[in-house]
Amino acid sequence: GNSVTQMEGPVTLSEEAFLTINCTYTATGYPSLFWYVQYPGEGLQLLLKATKADDKGSNKGFEATYRKETTSFHLEKGSVQVSDSAVYFCALRKETSGSRLTFGEGTQLTVNP
């Protein structure tokens, strides 16, 4: 079946550090890939998406590239801010599975000033 695996967490960084959160997936065919973010006390929000191989999703300085050859969708940001502290979820959606999202474990990011 479909699955998503994220890097072990949590992650603690200093402000302006470079961020990478790894995400790999298992699925047949061509799923759509997503990163969701959850700020404290709020629901999950879509951060970025990519719907086909080699697509790059980007938003708020975050980027992720859909790599079919390595079945990966790693999240990166060049310079994190304290306000980026949140939980980040990688997810996939396969059309043949309806519109359900399959999530990774989530990674807690803490950015210290």
Q: Select from 28, 29, 69, 98 the one that contacts other proteins (CB under 8 A).
A: 98
Q: Are 74 and 21 in contact (CB under 8 A)?
A: yes
Segment near other proteins (CB under 8 A); pick from 9-17, 31-39, 65-73, 78-86: 31-39
Nearer to other proteins, 48 or 111 (CB): 48
In the region spanning residues 47 to 76, those forming contacts with other proteins, defined by CB under 8 A, are 49, 51
Residue from the set 45, 79, 81, 83 that interacts with other proteins by CB under 8 A = 45
Strands, E, within 15-113: which ranges? 19-21, 23-26, 32-38, 44-50, 56-59, 62-65, 75-77, 86-93, 102-103, 107-112
Q: Is 43 in the site for other proteins (CB under 8 A)?
A: yes
